[in-house]
Structure 1
Amino acid sequence: GFIETDRQMKTNVENIFAIGDVVGQPMLAHKAVHEAKVAAEVICGEKSGFDVLTIPSVAYTDPEVAWTGKTEKELKEEGVDFNKGVFPWAASGRSLSIGRSEGVSKALFDSKSGKILGMGICGTNAGDLISEASLAIEMGCDMSDIALTIHAHPTLSETTAFAAEMAEGTITDLMPPRKRK
């Protein structure tokens, strides 16, 4: 089994903290490093906490697959009403210029608040792109926050904003799908 901890990496034994693989999934080095920072900050008396939703995950395949936050399947199982924006990389100038147009960026937003709930990216360097979505989840950003963030053009990172624009229905780089009534 795993060692149970709270958001501050404290165990049920006073002054004992646990981080990394011993506290459970996902077993990722970058998660363990972040948990260690949280534990150290708490030990030093700082206010700190850890949210598993902001852990980015990457499958280092070709193309790469990266995700953070909730998945579409999880949101459906939880009965969450959400919007999604899907931007095909075949419409990205950067992906076309590097000959890697097989990707897609998908962002999931709460239907009422518009807050980002999760993101998935499949495409070259997806692992380098997913952290923006983790930050957006951490900061409580909504689809407008992401859509209105200026991204350099042409870049793969702008596909994050384009996915938000697809969800919002404000995209100008691609015809948005018709809204169902």
Structure 2
Amino acid sequence: MIKPLNRMRTRLAATLAAGALTAVAAVALTPAVAEAAPAFTSTPCSNSNSPVHYLLPGQSMASVSYVCAGDYMFASQNDGNFVIYNNGGTPVWASGTNTGSPNTIVMATNGNLLIYNSADYLQWQTGTGWTDHRNYGAYVCFQTDGNMVLYAPNGGNHTCSGTALWASGT
């Protein structure tokens, strides 16, 4: 379940129609953790033992929200940055998209994970969307080990295993 941190605002770009994202240029794929917000003493996910969460094709994670997986918090912050925090509240990965306004995270149907700002401009992407449909059906797993992984389509099974197309490396 995705939980609100503040007011939940969802903006989904009109370009999310199937196949409409093929001309998007690649953006930085290795964000700096230093751009994350200051560490907390703990997170709402500490000792939560929450299961793995998914972001399936066509789904989005609203701005200013978070999900827990294990003791890790995957947070879309009100400054626009998407950050993974460990159970001590220390950021272990960040998208580097702190634009000053909330962003929306989108799992496009073409296999690309995207972050849009509140004006619906692309801020970041994994670069895994292909026009030949090879990654259609790919999905994101927020794993209990703190890793965020984009998995190749697996016949509709969302097991968080198989071929990883991209990972946060945490």
Which bin holds the TM-score, normalised by the shorter protein?
A: under 0.3
Which has a greater percent of helix? 1
Q: Between Structure 1 and Structure 2, whose CA radius of gyration is higher?
A: 1
Could you state the TM-score of these two structures normalised by the residue count of structure 1? 0.23
Looking at both structures, which has the greater relative contact order when contacts are Cα pairs under 8 Å and sequence separation is at least 6?
2
